[in-house]
Amino acid sequence: MATLVLDFLAIHPFRDGNGRIARLLTTNELLRGGWGVARHVSLEQRIFETKNTYYLALRTSRRAWHDGTHDVWPWIRYLLTVIADAYDDFERKVAAGTELIGTTKHEQARDHILSQAPHAFRLAQIFDALPDISDATIRDAADALRDEGVLTVGRGRGATWRRVDGAKGV
């Protein structure tokens, strides 16, 4: 699968959209091969978050591709790392979900922020970690924690939120 995608990207058959098609091809081939994580975790998002490493691995593995002397391993290592990280993320989400059965979405968001989110985070990270909870519910939970003095928040749209050390509930 990895070499199929590498070959597709080396051929570069379209003027635009080759990367998107390659990521779709990756997801399709993973699902066909029984790698179910692609159904539950966005590999597209993981690749976007590691795009510098993605481009470096791709560039390194495509070097001398036309001569047939290229090294596929930088690309394969990158892709396997993305897949392994996706499985780790999926495992964390499943573990968190089993502990939260019977609680409201607001309580789930609150619990995640207090027990699983990094000490300093952006709301976008929480939105990504809790795809089944609306952005508004997550914002409401974060605002409630801020009002309780458990969180502080910076200014601006991409503000950083921080847990207050020693605050009640932390």
Quick one: pLDDT at residue 142? 95
Closest to 44 (Cα-Cα) out of 15, 14, 19: 19
Could you give the 3-state DSSP secondary structure of residue 88? helix
Pick the CATH number of 102-163 from 1.10.540.10, 1.10.287.370, 1.10.10.10, 3.40.50.300: 1.10.10.10
- pTM recorded for the entire structure: 0.58
Quick one: pLDDT at residue 63? 95
Residue 89 has pLDDT above 60, yes or no: yes
Structure tokens at 31: 């699902």
Quick one: pLDDT at residue 104? 86
Question: pLDDT per residue over 114-160, tens digit each?
Answer: 988 999 999 999 998 888 889 999 999 999 999 999 999 998 878 99
Quick one: pLDDT at residue 169? 52
138 contact partners, CB below 8 Å, separation of at least 6: 109, 123, 126, 127, 130
Q: How far apart are CA 4 and CA 52, in angstroms?
A: 21
Q: Quickly list H helices, the chain.
A: 2-11, 18-32, 37-40, 43-49, 51-62, 73-99, 105-115, 123-129, 135-147
Structure tokens at 51: 């795009």
Question: pLDDT per residue over 17-71, tens digit each?
Answer: 999 999 999 999 999 999 888 888 888 888 888 999 999 999 999 999 999 999 9
Quick one: pLDDT at residue 48? 85
